A and B are shown apart, each in its own frame.
Chain A
């Protein structure tokens, strides 16, 4: 038995990455509400970059797509339980 603590959360030091850069996705479709669900929390708020790891270039596009989807009634503006 060592006195060192076991690392509790191994996911913690996994590096975040931008899924759009990694997968070469160039365009984010505002019509695909199911995909956009990955970038909002269960109240329907857009998740910050520090959680999703999206690069600034694509975060702006994600935000625009979510806002367009909201306008068209594909995503809610406010809600209690989305997921």
Chain B
């Protein structure tokens, strides 16, 4: 079965302790690996402020996982998200070749300056 590139971001409620949060992340990683997905990269953005309240909370734990999986396993992952009340929001997107290249660059150099620096010259 051919694997596609995906990326998923989910927001966990801020009422969890650090350990509970880690457990939840592990759980979703396990769902992925059980579905024969290959985890490429994961990132924990920590407790972040939300731009607007979600479920009456103003902050949330952001987590990002980049992985390769079959299209069928996405349904399993999203079902897990929906069943889990710790998850406030989630977003899973398929990555095209430009996105994969961009993510690789982002991981390697943490180049958060690069697009902005270009913009400043242009502006």
List residues of chain B with CB under 8 Å of any chain A CB.
9, 11, 50-52, 54, 60, 62, 64, 89, 91, 93, 96, 98-99, 101-102, 106, 112, 115-116, 118-119, 122
Question: Would you give the shortest CB distance from B117 to chain A, in whole angstroms?
Answer: 10
**Known contacts A76-B52, A77-B52: does B89 contact A38 (CB below 8 Å)?**
no
Within 8 A of B (CB), among A1-54: 19, 22-23, 25-27, 29-35, 38
In whole angstroms, how far apart are the Cα atoms of A19 and B120 in the complex?
A: 11
In whole angstroms, how far apart are the Cα atoms of A19 and B116 in the complex?
A: 11
Cross-chain contact A22 with B9 (CB below 8 angstroms)? no
Cross-chain contact B122 with A71 (CB below 8 angstroms)? no
Cross-chain contact A26 with B91 (CB below 8 angstroms)? no
Question: Would you give the shortest CB distance from B10 to chain A, in whole angstroms?
Answer: 9
Question: Number of A residues contacting the other chain (C-beta, 8 Å)?
Answer: 25
The 10 A-B residue pairs with the shortest CB-CB distance in the complex, in nearest-first order: A73-B50, A26-B98, A27-B98, A27-B102, A76-B51, A27-B99, A23-B118, A76-B52, A73-B51, A19-B122
Cross-chain contact A72 with B89 (CB below 8 angstroms)? yes
Known: A19-B119, A76-B52. 14 other contacts (CB 8 A): A19-B118, A23-B115, A23-B119, A23-B122, A25-B118, A27-B102, A29-B102, A34-B116, A38-B119, A68-B91, A71-B91, A73-B51, A75-B51, A79-B51
Give the interface SS of chain A, mostly helix, strand, loop or mixed. loop
By a CB distance below 8 angstroms, the chain A residues around B64 are: 31
By a CB distance below 8 angstroms, the chain B residues around A63 are: none
By a CB distance below 8 angstroms, the chain B residues around A72 are: 9, 11, 62, 89, 91
- What are 20 contact pairs spanning A and B, CB under 8 A? A19-B122, A22-B122, A25-B118, A26-B98, A26-B101, A26-B102, A27-B99, A29-B106, A30-B93, A32-B115, A33-B51, A35-B115, A35-B119, A68-B91, A68-B93, A71-B91, A72-B11, A73-B50, A76-B52, A78-B52
